Structure 1
């Protein structure tokens, strides 16, 4: 069996150096902002049907000028036809990436381009600039040490900043004839703008959540008319963390009876539309409240725009891809799609005998009609209803209306009856809406969730990170300590060597499957120097800093990254550091733990286990060495003496060296796996160097050097001995 080889002295010295190495100092300071401030705006509205436009994830880039140009041209022209009451820009206004997209930085040119683009949209779309509301996304805070600083260009070039609406919470009230509609915008970006990639989550505070709750309650208490509430932000709830005391927005939204939460962030590459229906119990009784969460894909690549309407409390929307100018758009505001209704069945349900449709077009609309189809009767037409424009002194109401007998369409099934609207414009062009199910009784038919929708939008990634992290650490600890304990107890009985040799020497058919796992683990953990090195390394990763880098800007001070997040030394507060960006660091920690640390441990075990087998094979080969030598002597007389001797000596030496290092096919497979793990590790390090600086990351032994040193030392120490 393999003997326990000592760990090379340089490796022990490096481990000692890691433990004694002091972290670099930093003089970085943060400027806290008021994370509970609220700015209030109010606008009059003609009638009781409101509609707004939402765009998200513009990613205006200095290297992709067509994004801003298309935004000004396409969105500006679309707004001319839509004439919305509000335009909501829900974050990630600029791209904040270099040309190679390897690092993040704030570029003032991109913000200037955004300001000019908004001015062009105002000119082309005819929308009042005061009705445009923009909020930050994570890209808008990349590398911003604190809000209000010289790198916080949102505070200079955003629409909200130009109109002095820099509060974290924007409260916008649309006041109709007999109803009011509240749109509440929340900026949940980090107060300290960590650079890419560790900046993925919204980070509300207890103070902000309480302010949101208070503002929603205030608007309810001070409204003289029924009020419908819609909240918008950049981050989905699945990518929003809990506050310091574990509070979350979902309970506030349910308690305050909001209708919908609008967001962006995830882009259409994941899905053009991600949705989630939140239903929560808000009292000790069985009283439940619900709201919808609707994500909008990006403008960046997909050119997506949403039109959302509220018709006397009923919320509906339609999404458009603006690859070209907006054509005629049809949005049925009532009856709403039963698959996305924001109202539960209730005894207070009020049946409405009307159909309302918003039609947005650059052309004059000549004719509008609605058809009702019965899905239980092969989708045959049940009724065709002509719609008429609603008379109004305002040109802002492209609303068409018809009366019908809603009692006719009572049904226990929320998807039996389907509605489709047909439009004829002045050019003779016919346009039809998508067929959608409806329920006059307010019954809902929530569609099945695609698995990707569930994984990305319904899994709470703050909690999932903890599950994945703790599972990995638990597996790693078990992998380290279980075989060591087994080997300790087996060795005490003085039977390990005999047991291992007897089973290895037996035919393969007689070997039990569980033996391979037990033997593999125990043989891998036999080397005390390597085992203790791995234990110390894992403990370091759990408690000590992984690496240092410029976390807030290219020229910012050095900060430390731990498993629990970035540590920013707030010397002005007399603290050694506060942990930020947790669980944002999951994009760094999870790949490293799963793809590097665990494979390194398994491969080191494998190399030592393979060496034990190689020793056994070597002992068997020596039994036949004499016979092979005799056969070689008999055949040697057929070759000239000197050339044959030199050739044999050279060949034997080369073969011996190859066998020493590479061994058999098992060792070659292990070495190949080591190379693959090394390549993955170097790729991860390269990405971090691009993001946070090459020198600090490269000079961080726990992250950069240790996996390579451990694998290299294990490969060296498990070489076969020379014959």
Structure 2
């Protein structure tokens, strides 16, 4: 009896400790704090700007993202990118081209080894230099996570961004570029949030805005304010939801507090959700661009009399149409877009591009008659209108363009002159407005609770039943629910299997998952909460989702497979039956499937991080050995241990 009480006390203590650790992690999430609603001071730099039929106060530029030039996969990425630089840029003649990260792929042919590959960077540089791109436009490139694999610091010999990119030599991280055109100053702020050091795949999926980079960005903002800049465009590789930042230097307030900042442009997520756009409470648009890698997408943007407009375009899809006035109702920015500029305008304005001459451009508002547009200068076409006729509610403007080769394009967009807006999609807003770091943490800790709580409670109940001499739950039952309960009950009754399972899961929350050469020739350790290497801690929150997948695909299936194995052994003792071949197949196949998946993960660690990381890897290698030992234990339980 004393032994049972002692076990009961230990069980309660373990449960309380686990609960407090998990509760401490959950309550520390910034996600649970109320989000502030910012009301930026309205800037009046567009006052007295009359939109008519002139090409003044107009600037357009391009964005391309996630090019992923590869030495091993899909050569058409390179040829299409060269075609874009050689032909599309001649058509658009943009003032600026933003290349927002993942310029190269950094993955070997096996797609498991990740490091910077010089050949890919040479290819990137050769395309831009052979076509003299910098002679025709300003090319603003910035690093993405694939441009930062396996780099201990910026001085690493494999930091090819510094030597082969356009901006790398003078701007190795965040920087400012200012464009002066037609009396206006346009500021472009590149925000580099790649991890330093830069780990290998997949642990640099989330970016980090540290204090040093915040100081650089604050200095840039002060420089902009002193230069009387009219409009500011922010850009980076990671969406703000994929950037770890902490008070008082959180990324969104940092962007939002700058009064003339219009938008933050990014890439990285590769069209996991179409049209990933949103308006943040801090007062700026966030516009994620689909990738070039698979979708061959780029973006045309324009600032026309202070109004930011854009359209995402498929490569070689001509003609391209961008309506700049009236502005798309979905993308109106309160306190920053002056609707009086639209209300007092005399002309509808749009940009039209094609590789050949344009045959005609005509517009239609709502269900009215079509009106032909007049060509003014370059890509600018205009048509007179009376804004007072559309002063309330939502309206639609439709454009029909045809070029001399007979290629025809229709484009429709809603507009509003009284501030009526549309709602962004729920899923895109969720992806861009939440914090991936917080979501990953929640997923990891909640799944820990879901797995551990029932097992520990069932163990407590089991101790109480043993104390009372009640052991009926081990007998065979008929219903599916009772059978499942009986199997779990039998599992928790075997200490030599139950406790290693529980302790392994607890270990995943506190101990190192692997120790090896994390970056170049530097030994480091991966934990649930991040990576330690070369004296630096990287809060690589991808580890949480990695741990979540291990729990989901290994721990949970293993619990049920072992429960079935223990129950199978117990029923043999209780019923003295024989095992058929079909029963043996049903018994062993699920375990073989779990083991196969773990062997694959062990192989991935071996290829990605080397032999040392593979050997010292409790997450996969040791877990595989543990699973085999527990399975052998389950199928060879002696009668005194099973009953």
Q: 1:419 to 1:548 in 2, by over 3 A?
A: same
Structure 2 match to 1:285: none
- Between the two proteins, the alignment pairs up a number of residues equal to 582
Structure 1 match to 2:529: 564
Equivalent residue of 2:607, what SS?
helix
Q: Offset of 1:68 from its aligned partner? A: 2.1
Structure 2 match to 1:706: 623
Q: Distance in 1 between matches of 2:336 and 2:119?
A: 52
Mapping of 1:263-278 within 5 angstroms?
263-268=266-271, 270-278=272-280
User: Would you say 1:536 and 2:503 are equivalent positions?
Assistant: yes
User: Would you say 1:237 and 2:240 are equivalent positions?
Assistant: yes
- The unaligned stretches of length 5 or more in structure 1 are 1-45, 281-289, 374-379, 392-396, 571-577, 622-655
Contact 1:344 1:444 in 2 (8 A): no
Mapping of 1:630-669 within 5 angstroms?
659=579, 665=583, 668-669=585-586
Q: Distance in 2 between matches of 1:687 and 1:51?
A: 45
Q: 1:193 to 1:492 in 2, by over 3 A?
A: same
Q: Offset of 1:456 from its aligned partner? A: 4.2
Structure 1 match to 2:61: 52
Contact 1:144 1:152 in 2 (8 A): yes
Which of 666, 672, 694 is residue 589 of structure 2 equivalent to?
Answer: 672
Equivalent residue of 1:330, what SS?
strand
Q: Distance in 1 between matches of 2:631 and 2:550?
A: 20
Equivalent residue of 2:332, what SS?
coil
Q: Distance in 2 between matches of 1:83 and 1:348?
A: 29
Equivalent residue of 1:558, what SS?
strand
Equivalent residue of 2:254, what SS?
helix
User: Would you say 1:331 and 2:308 are equivalent positions?
Assistant: no
Structure 2 match to 1:489: 464
Structure 1 match to 2:250: 248
Contact 2:491 2:497 in 1 (8 A): no
Q: Offset of 1:615 from its aligned partner? A: 2.1
Contact 2:365 2:396 in 1 (8 A): yes
Q: Offset of 1:598 from its aligned partner? A: 2.8
Q: 1:348 to 1:362 in 2, by over 3 A?
A: closer
Equivalent residue of 2:70, what SS?
coil
- The unaligned stretches of length 5 or more in structure 2 are 1-54
Structure 1 match to 2:27: none
Structure 1 match to 2:487: 520
Contact 2:517 2:609 in 1 (8 A): yes
Which of 106, 122, 125 is residue 112 of structure 1 equivalent to?
Answer: 122
Structure 1 match to 2:412: 435
Q: Distance in 1 between matches of 2:482 and 2:409?
A: 69
Q: 1:389 to 1:445 in 2, by over 3 A?
A: same
Equivalent residue of 1:79, what SS?
helix
Equivalent residue of 2:193, what SS?
coil
Question: C-alpha offsets along residues 204-251 of structure 1, whole Å, 9 cap, x if unaligned?
Answer: 11342354345335423541x7x22221110112211123x4742112
Per the normalisation by structure 2, the TM-score is 0.83
Structure 2 match to 1:165: 171
Q: Distance in 2 between matches of 1:109 and 1:179?
A: 40
Which of 413, 423, 445 is residue 422 of structure 2 equivalent to?
Answer: 445
Q: Offset of 1:155 from its aligned partner? A: 0.8
Equivalent residue of 2:277, what SS?
strand
Please report the RMSD computed on the Cα atoms of aligned residues, expressed in angstroms: 2.9
Q: Offset of 1:144 from its aligned partner? A: 1.2
Structure 1 match to 2:294: 301
Q: Distance in 1 between matches of 2:338 and 2:262?
A: 18
Q: 1:463 to 1:206 in 2, by over 3 A?
A: same
Which of 144, 150, 165 is residue 143 of structure 1 equivalent to?
Answer: 150
Q: Offset of 1:126 from its aligned partner? A: 5.8
Q: Offset of 1:355 from its aligned partner? A: 1.3
Contact 1:73 1:121 in 2 (8 A): no
Structure 1 match to 2:392: 411
Q: Distance in 2 between matches of 1:390 and 1:343?
A: 30
Equivalent residue of 1:47, what SS?
coil
Q: 1:386 to 1:255 in 2, by over 3 A?
A: same
Which of 149, 153, 163 is residue 160 of structure 2 equivalent to?
Answer: 153
Q: Offset of 1:404 from its aligned partner? A: 1.5
Moved more, 349-358 or 106-115: 349-358
Which of 368, 372, 381 is residue 400 of structure 1 equivalent to?
Answer: 381
Mapping of 1:584-603 within 5 angstroms?
584-603=542-561
Q: Offset of 1:356 from its aligned partner? A: 1.3
Mapping of 1:116-135 within 5 angstroms?
116-122=126-132, 127-128=136-137, 131-135=138-142
Moved more, 302-311 or 399-408: 399-408
Contact 1:329 1:361 in 2 (8 A): yes
Which of 463, 471, 475 is residue 446 of structure 2 equivalent to?
Answer: 471
Higher CA-based Rg: 1
Structure 2 match to 1:389: 375
Q: Offset of 1:525 from its aligned partner? A: 1.4
Which of 473, 477, 480 is residue 500 of structure 1 equivalent to?
Answer: 473
Q: Distance in 2 between matches of 1:532 and 1:430?
A: 70
Which of 65, 76, 84 is residue 66 of structure 1 equivalent to?
Answer: 76
Moved more, 695-704 or 582-591: 695-704
Q: Offset of 1:516 from its aligned partner? A: 4.6
